[in-house]
Amino acid sequence: MTHSLHRSGDIESQKKDFVWFMYQTKGVNDKNIKPKALEFIAVAEAVGSENWGDVKTGPTVLCSVDEIRNNLSDKSRIRGVFTKREQVVEFLKQIKAKDLGMSVVIAGVLSEVIPACKEAEATPHSINYSLGVWGKKENLPDETTLSITTMCGHHMISPKFVKHVMKRVQKGKWTPEEGALKLATYCYCGIFNQVRCADIIKKSLPETDLST
C-alpha cells in the first residue's frame, strides 16, 4: 500500500485526502474478523467515506456494498478514503468507543492527521513517515499524472490511462467526475480519492501535455 503513504501533488490538495484502514495482526486477532469488519464499514459509511473497499472483492465505486460485505473473509483488507478532517475525528471517536481491538491507521498530511487523532483522544503510538521518492526520479511521469496514479495504493493505474482519461474529458466525452470515477475502479483497495482526482483534472487540464 505504498501510495496510502507516499502520495504526490499539491499539499493543500493532499489535505483533503485521508486514507483509513482496519488491520488484523497475524496470529493475534486474524480469525473471524467479519463481525468487526462490518462494524468498521458501518462507521465509515455513517461518517461518509467517499470510497472504500476490500481488495479481495473490489471498491465501492465498482462493486455493490452488499457484495463486498458478503465476501468478507479473514483474508480481507478493509480500507477507504475521507475528504475532510472532521470525518477522521468522528471515525476515530466511534471506532475507539466500540473498542474492537483491531489496529487502525490513518494516512495523510501530518499537520492534519495528528490534530485529528488528538481531538478524538486517540494517541499516536507509531508512525510510518514518508521520506519521499529516491533514485532515478528523472524517469517519473509529470507531477499532475503522478498526483493521480499515486492515489492507487498498488499502482494499478498507468500514466497512459490517466492521459487517456484526460483526453476524453478535454474532448467533452466525460466530465471530470466521470473520468475520476473511471480511474477509481482500477484501484481495488478502495483508497483512490475520486473527489480529489476530479479536482486535479479540472485544475490541470489547460496546462497538461497530452501528446504522449
Distance CA 14, CA 123 (A): 22
Contact between 89 and other proteins per CB under 8 A: no
Nearer Cβ to other proteins, position 108 or 176? 108
Residues 6-65 that bind other proteins (CB under 8 A): 6-8, 11, 14, 21, 23-26, 28-30, 55-56
Grid cell, residue 116, equals: 485529528
Q: Tell me which of 38, 130, 143, 210 binds other proteins, using CB under 8 A.
A: 130
Q: Tell me which of 43, 122, 181, 201 binds other proteins, using CB under 8 A.
A: 122
User: Which residue stretch of 63-71, 152-160, 193-201, 202-210 sits at the interface with other proteins (rule: CB under 8 A)?
Assistant: 152-160
Distance CA 120, CA 54 (A): 25
Cβ atoms 36, 22 nearer than 8 A: yes
Contact between 208 and other proteins per CB under 8 A: no
Residues 157-196 that bind other proteins (CB under 8 A): 157-161, 164, 185-186, 188-189
Size of the site for other proteins (CB under 8 A): 79
Q: What's the longest Cα–Cα distance across the chain?
A: 53
Complete edge-to-edge strand list for the sheet that includes strand 51-54: 18-23, 78-82, 51-54, 58-59
